[in-house]
């Protein structure tokens, strides 16, 4: 490749230690999902463009990487999210499988927007969905999965919080401040972006919705009192706002407490999620003391599967991307160094006797036994230097071959304890397999 080429804007290159960090994140997503009883699904990395325009309208096309094959008639788009694919899969599955479905998926996704901190054009994302359960159990299952995953990353309440709302509760607050019902969608979109724009810009955009300076002041007071339902009721009552519309949040409070999730949750009517397909509960995960974008977000989308041709089916889900998660984990010193989590070799074979043929045979035998075995590409036979290389590679053992090759004993050195012993070449694989055995996870 010609010099000077770089990765496309908004994408990332992954050296081994970088990829180890991403794999570390993905492994935890998959493990916790499976432990919570969710099953993995996936779909194509591109879909018919109409799958996204049906859900979000033609305006979304500018945010996608869309294309038409030369000579073809069909329009496609690289997937920006998994929810439409899950809804498409569920449209058929709900007729054939017992409900509810608990699905998760992990894969690459793409957005054609301007890259920003925490928002790239290509990223890894984890999705989890409960399909076919109209009850609050769906929300509790997902919030429990979310909290369990955050814990697995070493995060605790106080590091991050799940900001929980309901579209009806948010609508009630906005209508109480003077927003007309036919302007709620526009108001939701604006409220969803409130924290990302200067106050004067928000005020200008809110004016046509009936939100003047007094109404914005009251809205700010309500949002700043977010936390418990009691705090919201107290603030809204003091402002002369009706609180009956907060009933969907009241309904969630007790089940969350019973499920042991109360400490994770902040009730916040400012969370609305801008996408139009949400129909009820909505939530986002935010760093408590940081300014990063939302780590995760989701909610109920009870009408999407029917919109895509399936039967009327309740559904709820969320997504978490690796970009913002990685930034937050790094901010809080919870992201391990990539070099420290690269796979450790079980054995580093050292050629001290000038027998490369024996080294190749031994590597083949060890790898055939399922062991992770490496050797040096250097020509030196200095054992001290080669042992230093083995340690740098974080190998657990070093196998030192003499001039006798495989016909003589092999010196096996434990690089952690420093202990050394002679082992016959035919027994080395079994000895290493026993010594490096790890407890099943």
111 neighbors 64 (Cβ within 8 angstroms): yes
Residue 129: its H or E element: strand 122-131
Give the pLDDT confidence score for residue 346 in this predicted structure: 97
Closest listed residue to residue 283, CA positions, set 124, 128, 103, 423 = 128
Give the pLDDT confidence score for residue 424 in this predicted structure: 96
Helical ranges in 8-136 per DSSP H: 16-35, 49-56, 83-93
Tens of pLDDT along 393-411?
999 999 999 999 999 999 9
- Helix pair angle (16-35, 322-331), 10° resolution: 100
Give the pLDDT confidence score for residue 185 in this predicted structure: 86
Give the pLDDT confidence score for residue 15 in this predicted structure: 96
In angstroms, rounded to a whole number, what is the distance separating the alpha carbons of residues 105 and 40?
A: 5
Instruction: State the CB neighbour count (10 A cutoff) for residue 424.
Output: 12
Is the backbone of residue 5 left (phi > 0), alpha (psi -120 to 50) or beta? beta
For 158-222, strand residue ranges (E) read 160-166
Closest listed residue to residue 328, CA positions, set 287, 285, 288 = 287
In angstroms, rounded to a whole number, what is the distance separating the alpha carbons of residues 367 and 6?
A: 36
Closest listed residue to residue 199, CA positions, set 183, 180, 213, 218 = 213
136 neighbors 26 (Cβ within 8 angstroms): no
Give the pLDDT confidence score for residue 260 in this predicted structure: 96
Structural domains of the chain, with CATH: 16-331 (3.30.930.10), 343-435 (3.40.50.800)
Q: What are phi and psi of 67, to 5 degrees?
A: -160, 165
318 neighbors 146 (Cβ within 8 angstroms): yes
Give the pLDDT confidence score for residue 2 in this predicted structure: 53
Rounded-to-10 torsion of CA 380, 385, 389, 391: 150
3-class secondary-structure state, position 269:
coil
Give the pLDDT confidence score for residue 196 in this predicted structure: 86
In angstroms, rounded to a whole number, what is the distance separating the alpha carbons of residues 66 and 49?
A: 7
Q: Are strands 296-300 and 281-287 parallel, antiparallel or unpaired?
A: antiparallel
Residue 299: its H or E element: strand 296-300
Per-residue pLDDT for the chain (441 aa), expressed as one digit of tens each?
Answer: 456 899 999 999 999 999 999 999 999 999 999 999 999 999 999 999 999 988 777 778 889 999 999 999 999 999 999 999 999 999 989 888 999 999 999 999 999 989 999 999 999 999 999 999 999 999 999 999 999 999 999 999 999 999 999 999 999 999 999 999 899 989 998 998 898 899 999 999 999 999 999 999 999 999 988 889 999 999 999 999 999 999 999 999 999 999 999 999 999 998 998 767 789 999 999 999 888 999 999 999 999 999 988 999 999 999 999 999 999 999 999 999 999 999 999 999 999 999 999 999 999 999 999 999 999 999 899 999 999 999 999 999 999 999 999 999 999 999 999 999 999 999 999 999 999 985 433
Q: Cα–Cα distances in Å, from 174 out to 227, 233, 271?
A: 18, 15, 12
Buried/exposed 400-409: b ≥16 CB within 10 Å, e otherwise: bbbeebbebb
85 neighbors 305 (Cβ within 8 angstroms): no
Q: Are strands 315-321 and 122-131 parallel, antiparallel or unpaired?
A: antiparallel
Structure tokens at 127: 């999705």
In angstroms, rounded to a whole number, what is the distance separating the alpha carbons of residues 147 and 124?
A: 20
Whole-prediction pTM value?
0.91
Residue the block writes with tokens 């998926």:
105
Closest listed residue to residue 279, CA positions, set 298, 299, 293, 259 = 299
Give the pLDDT confidence score for residue 440 in this predicted structure: 38
Closest listed residue to residue 127, CA positions, set 44, 51, 20, 40 = 40
């Amino acid at each position: 490749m010609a010099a000077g080429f770089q990765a496309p804007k908004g994408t990332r290159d992954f050296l081994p230690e970088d990829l180890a960090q991403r794999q570390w994140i993905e492994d935890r997503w998959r493990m916790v999902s499976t432990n919570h009883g969710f099953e993995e699904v996936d779909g194509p990395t591109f879909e018919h463009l109409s799958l996204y325009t049906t859900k979000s309208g033609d305006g979304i096309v500018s945010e996608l990487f869309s294309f038409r094959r030369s000579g073809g008639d069909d329009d496609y788009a690289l997937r920006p999210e998994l929810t439409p694919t899950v809804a498409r899969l569920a449209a058929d599955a709900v007729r054939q499988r017992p409900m509810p479905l608990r699905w998760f998926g992990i894969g690459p996704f793409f957005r054609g927007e301007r890259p920003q901190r925490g928002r790239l054009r290509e990223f890894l994302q984890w999705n989890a969905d409960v399909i076919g359960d109209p009850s609050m159990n769906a929300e509790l299952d997902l919030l429990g999965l979310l909290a369990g995953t955050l814990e697995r990353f070493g995060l605790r309440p106080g590091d991050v919080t799940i900001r929980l709302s309901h579209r009806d509760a948010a609508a009630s607050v906005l209508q109480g401040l003077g927003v007309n019902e036919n302007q709620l969608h526009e108001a939701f979109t604006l409220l969803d972006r409130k924290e990302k724009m200067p106050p004067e810009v928000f005020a200008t955009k809110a004016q046509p919705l009936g939100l003047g300076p007094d109404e914005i002041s009251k809205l700010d007071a309500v949002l700043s009192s977010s936390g418990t339902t009691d705090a919201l009721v107290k603030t809204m009552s003091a402002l002369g706002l009706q609180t009956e519309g907060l009933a969907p949040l009241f309904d969630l409070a007790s089940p969350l407490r019973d499920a042991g999730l109360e400490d994770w949750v902040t009730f916040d009517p400012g969370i609305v999620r801008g996408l139009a397909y949400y129909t009820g509960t909505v939530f986002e995960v935010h760093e408590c003391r940081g300014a990063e974008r939302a780590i995760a977000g989701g909610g109920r989308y009870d009408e999407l599967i029917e919109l895509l041709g399936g039967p009327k089916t309740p559904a709820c889900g969320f997504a978490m991307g690796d970009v913002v998660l990685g930034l937050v984990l790094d901010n809080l010193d919870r992201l391990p160094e990539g070099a420290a989590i690269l796979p450790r070799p079980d054995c580093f074979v050292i050629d001290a006797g000038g027998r490369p043929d024996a080294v190749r045979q031994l590597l083949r035998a060890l790898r055939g036994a399922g062991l992770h075995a490496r050797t040096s590409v250097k020509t030196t036979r200095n054992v001290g230097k080669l042992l230093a290389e083995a340690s740098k590679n974080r190998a657990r053992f070093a196998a030192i071959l003499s001039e006798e090759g495989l016909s003589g004993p092999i010196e096996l050195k434990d690089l952690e304890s420093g202990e050394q012993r002679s082992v016959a070449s035919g027994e080395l694989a079994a000895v290493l397999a026993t010594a490096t055995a790890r407890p099943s996870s």
